[in-house]
Structure 1
């Protein structure tokens, strides 16, 4: 979770001080606002925590090789969010989003810290781009995914002249 902590600190530092009005502005009709980026990260992190919990309880023991999840940070390759991870366009404050992110982060951390290490290595879940990932790899994947979107947040800030 160290990588996840570092990624979260960097993300929140990038969003700090931006007005609620500005976090809800889209730089273009086809690009997410900062609010949508943060909401997507909340949805993703919470979903991964629940997937890990479910697979620890019901998943089959399998062996998979480690995948190059660090490639997630490469923004040259566009990846569309799954429908249930696509944020809405409703208004939200930075404080509300920060609270949601704190809750999803705590859920993931508690899940990862309290899980049996062997079971994390032996249980898997399908990733849309990488194929089957061990539950152990899903935890740092969340951090790399967040790093990717922190860069996207920086791009939005530049586009909005923030």
Structure 2
């Protein structure tokens, strides 16, 4: 559990560093029509994290089944595009609001990790739209990998902002 907590914190630190120094205006500037702004990427990450942690909490309160380990390495591959089931709004969001939302959803993840026996995370599973049945452990690993994927997207958007 400690290793997973450290990995998630490392990803979150990288995420926070990825948009450090950008103004609210820059955070909300989309690279092109139909493209996501950094604020939308951050909002999306918070929404996905909140969605999956709600599924994990639900699964923890019910009888479960063990899922086979899946290869999650493709999560970080930005050449493989997927339509997100959770689209962020294009409404203007301040850095303060975005950081608060991210901290809130991560706090829920940490609470689950702190209260749950590691074996339970392997013995219960949820349905993931892209991977099928995932153990709760792999679901939490997905959250970190998903964040890493979008750090790459943020770096691409920053290149656009620099012109």
Q: TM-score, normalised by structure 1?
A: 0.94
* Cα shift readout 1:78-137 (whole Å, capped 9, x = no counterpart): 01110xx21101111111101110110011111122112222111111111111100011
Q: Does 1:30 find its partner at 2:40? A: no
Structure 1 stretches of 4+ moved >6 Å:
none
Contact 1:48 1:108 survives alignment (8 Å): no
Q: Does 1:80 find its partner at 2:83? A: yes
What corresponds to 2:100 in structure 1? 99
Inter-partner Cα distance in structure 2 for 1:42 and 1:93 = 14
Inter-partner Cα distance in structure 2 for 1:66 and 1:107 = 24
What corresponds to 1:14 in structure 2? 18
Please give the secondary structure, in 1, of the residue aligned with 2:18. Answer: helix
State the shift of 1:70 in Å: 2.6
Unaligned stretches of 5+ in structure 2? none
Matched positions, count? 159
Please give the secondary structure, in 1, of the residue aligned with 2:58. Answer: helix
RMSD over equivalenced CA pairs, Å: 1.1
What corresponds to 1:125 in structure 2? 126
Unaligned stretches of 5+ in structure 1? none
State the shift of 1:46 in Å: 1.1
Inter-partner Cα distance in structure 2 for 1:77 and 1:6 = 24
Inter-partner Cα distance in structure 2 for 1:4 and 1:129 = 21
